[in-house]
Structure 1
Amino acid sequence: MSDALFKQLSMVLLDVDGVLTTGQVIYDDAGREIKVFDVHDGLGIRLLMAAGIRVGIVTGRSSMALKHRCDNLGIKLLKDGVRDKAAALASILKETGIAAENTAFVGDDLPDLPIMRRVGAPIAVGDAHDAVKQIAVWTTRAKGGCGAVREVSERILKARGDWEPLLKKLFP
């Protein structure tokens, strides 16, 4: 796949379970949900935002763990508890003024198909369902929750020519 598609991106939207996490759901004895996020993915998100790329979340589930992670990373665009991801995308595009063809979505499973069919750069994580991989323009080597979002971030930033300048600026 050519990096030309990634050069035009202004926004990256992410699923959560299976993309930012491994997809496992863990509950403690009090019934609170626990999510494990990869710090490398977090830095990748921060790098995208530092380059002026909007980052948002579109997920079918809601959790306080996710809200805390978004607060920590500075992600303001959060659509959780979403049943219709295509409708959520339409709302986001209207809200941000960013075109679908300038948007990427990173997904892993069947509920992600409707949104992936409508963005300019549908991306699958390495352990995504085969149907998701079939419509993706690119599939990461890394599995969801294990650095896949960081891999996406680096690929986009390198395609746009932002990688080296960001490294020099942020890590002199």
Structure 2
Amino acid sequence: MPAAPLTATERASRVKLMIFDVDGVLTDGGLLFTAEGDTMKAFNSMDGHGMKLLRQAGIETAIITGRQSGIVAARVKELNISHVYQGVQDKPQAFADLLQQTGISAEECGYMGDDWVDLGVMLKVGFAAAPANSHPEVIARAHWVSEARGGHGAAREVVDTLLRAQNKYDALLAAACSGEQRGLVG
């Protein structure tokens, strides 16, 4: 008899590396352009704090995004994310490079994406997540879907899900309540 498929919580409990797309996941997907042609993006501070919590819990983070942006470079530097792939035309290849670089297996990775360009990675990872406002084809293939929209707490929601699945949430919350989490502004 074949084994029952893993639940989203079981999949989340195995994640050692959580990878995020940017536009539509860490931002709302909107792009603001100045008269000079520069783009601006808004990031959610709770999402950023969540990424710091992942690192504190021993879960690595990474970014794979199709756009090249100085704004993203500044944000990932602020969050101390060491695995960053910008301007990526082939996300599955960037994912393969990331696996080789980290030595982590695909089954031990999570990925949060929102559109078709993310499916090539989402279908390879052990835990595929999507914001609530993702394209329907992405939602249909995700193991887990947030209640929040991209750029409005979806990444923090997946972080909390991972931390709970790995029984790390309560200890981090207790540390925050006792004031032991200084300097973790998102």
Q: Which residue of 2 aligns with 1:102?
A: 108
TM-score, length-normalised on structure 1? 0.97
**Once the 2 structures are TM-superposed, how far is the Cα of residue 126 of structure 1 from its aligned partner?**
0.3
Instruction: Describe the SS at the equivalent of 1:3.
Output: helix
What is the aligned residue count? 172
**Once the 2 structures are TM-superposed, how far is the Cα of residue 171 of structure 1 from its aligned partner?**
3.6
Matches for 1:103-122 after TM superposition, within 5 Å: 103-122=109-128
Show CA shifts across 1:54-107 (max 9, x none): 000000001000000001110111001001111111000000000000000000
Q: Which residue of 2 aligns with 1:64?
A: 70
Q: CA RMSD in A?
A: 0.9
- How far apart, in 1, do the equivalents of 2:77 and 2:124 lie? 27
AA in 2 matched with 1:99: S
- How far apart, in 1, do the equivalents of 2:66 and 2:9 lie? 30
Aligned equivalent of 1:13, options 16, 19, 22: 19
AA in 1 matched with 2:151: G
TM-score, length-normalised on structure 2? 0.90
**Once the 2 structures are TM-superposed, how far is the Cα of residue 167 of structure 1 from its aligned partner?**
1.6
Are 2:84 and 1:85 aligned? no
Gaps of 5+ in 2: 1-6, 179-186
- How far apart, in 1, do the equivalents of 2:15 and 2:118 lie? 19
**Once the 2 structures are TM-superposed, how far is the Cα of residue 2 of structure 1 from its aligned partner?**
4.2
Structure number, greater radius of gyration: 2
Q: Which residue of 1 aligns with 2:46?
A: 40
Are 2:80 and 1:74 aligned? yes
- % identity of equivalent residues: 37
**Once the 2 structures are TM-superposed, how far is the Cα of residue 33 of structure 1 from its aligned partner?**
1.1
- How far apart, in 2, do the equivalents of 1:40 and 1:110 lie? 26
Show CA shifts across 1:22-52 (max 9, x none): 0011111222111100001011111111101
Instruction: Describe the SS at the equivalent of 2:128.
Output: strand
- Does the CA contact (< 8 Å) of 2:146 and 2:157 recur in 1? yes
- How far apart, in 1, do the equivalents of 2:140 and 2:94 lie? 22
Q: Which residue of 1 aligns with 2:181?
A: none
**Once the 2 structures are TM-superposed, how far is the Cα of residue 147 of structure 1 from its aligned partner?**
0.2
Q: Which residue of 2 aligns with 1:125?
A: 131
Show CA shifts across 1:89-148 (max 9, x none): 100000000000000000000100101111111111100001101110011010000000
